[in-house]
């Protein structure tokens, strides 16, 4: 009897990478580089500006976030500040212990993320994770966000397998839609609402999850 082929699908943010500092600190550091003071109004505006721009799929959501901050009175050029913010976010990106080794031990790996494609791919490339991934699907690649079908359809088309394991940190975007599609699921975080097949507190614990047993051994 032949073994069933398994595809491994991963979210990116807070699953394969984490951030130190997190978003408020990243914004504060970006403001420091730009020589402006991060006001409370601007800090609140960047999230809304990011989302409102991204859902239109017409320009970088980072520019939209910077424009929203400027509209609160923050003295920045949106295009320039967006570049500064992206660089600061990349500096804050961390790859938890064990994640590169886990990815390198798996075949048929896909990343499916609600993040902005050009920046998400830079993260994967900057830390050498892209060499262990067969396909990357971002929201702007398909004009839709998880939990919609389009991102999942695109990544499973690119990473063909007979069964799938979905790994993510969001119940509504990752775990629930994957479970509804019949995938096994691994939740990264504290509360999976009782939906995931496996749960870990932190990405560094992923290599010990039973869902990854049977992967090929690493060879130094």
Averaged pLDDT for residues 174-196: 97
At residue 214, the pLDDT reads: 62
| pLDDT of 146 above 70 | yes
At residue 52, the pLDDT reads: 98
Classify domain 6-17+95-212 at the CATH class level.
Answer: alpha beta
At residue 216, the pLDDT reads: 54
pLDDT band at 119 (very low <50, low <70, confident <90, very high): very high
| pLDDT of 8 above 70 | yes
| pLDDT of 219 above 60 | no
- pTM for the model stands at 0.95
What is each CA distance from 142 to 137, 139, 214, 215, in whole angstroms? 8, 6, 32, 30
Q: What mean pLDDT is reported for the chain?
A: 95
User: Largest Cα–Cα distance of the chain, in whole Å?
Assistant: 66
Give per-residue pLDDT as tens, 12-57.
Answer: 999 999 999 999 999 999 999 999 999 999 999 999 999 999 999 9
* Dist CA 49 CA 66 (whole Å): 7
At residue 213, the pLDDT reads: 75
Cα–Cα nearest to 74, from 110, 108, 46: 46
Give per-residue pLDDT as tens, 88-106.
Answer: 999 999 999 999 999 999 9
pLDDT band at 2 (very low <50, low <70, confident <90, very high): low
* Dist CA 62 CA 46 (whole Å): 8
Averaged pLDDT for residues 122-132: 98
SS (H, E, C) the chain: CCCCCEEEEECCECCCEEECCCHHHHHHHHHHHHCCCCCHHHHHHHHHHHHHHHCCCCCCHHHHHHHHHHHCCCCCCHHHHHHHHHHHHHHHEECCCCHHHHHHCCCCEEEEECCCHHHHHHHHHHCCCHHHCCEEEEHHHHCCCCCCHHHHHHHHHHCCCCEEEEEECCHHHHHHHHHHCCCEEEEECCCCCCCCCEEECCHHHHHHCHHHCCCCCCCC
- ∠ CA 52-54-58, nearest 5°, is 110
* Dist CA 45 CA 164 (whole Å): 38
């Amino acid at each position: 009897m032949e073994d069933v082929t398994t595809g491994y699908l991963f979210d990116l943010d807070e699953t394969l990478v984490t951030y130190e500092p997190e978003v408020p600190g990243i914004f504060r550091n970006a403001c420091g580089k730009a020589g402006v003071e991060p006001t409370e109004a601007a800090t609140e505006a960047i999230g809304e500006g990011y989302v409102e721009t991204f859902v239109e799929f017409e320009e970088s959501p980072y520019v939209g976030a910077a424009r929203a901050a400027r509209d609160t009175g923050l003295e920045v050029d949106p295009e320039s500040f967006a570049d500064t913010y992206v660089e600061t976010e990349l500096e804050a990106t961390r790859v938890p212990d064990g994640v590169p080794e886990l990815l390198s031990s798996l075949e048929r790996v896909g990343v499916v993320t609600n993040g902005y494609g050009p920046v998400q791919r830079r993260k994967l490339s900057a830390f050498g994770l892209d060499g262990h991934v067969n396909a990357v699907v971002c929201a702007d690649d398909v004009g839709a966000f998880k939990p919609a079908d389009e991102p999942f359809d695109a990544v499973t088309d690119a990473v063909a397998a007979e069964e799938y394991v979905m790994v993510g940190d969001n119940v509504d975007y990752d775990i629930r839609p994957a479970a509804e599609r019949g995938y096994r699921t691994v939740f990264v975080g504290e509360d999976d609402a009782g939906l995931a097949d496996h749960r870990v507190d932190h990405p560094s614990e992923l290599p010990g999850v039973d869902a990854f047993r049977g992967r090929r051994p690493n060879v130094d």
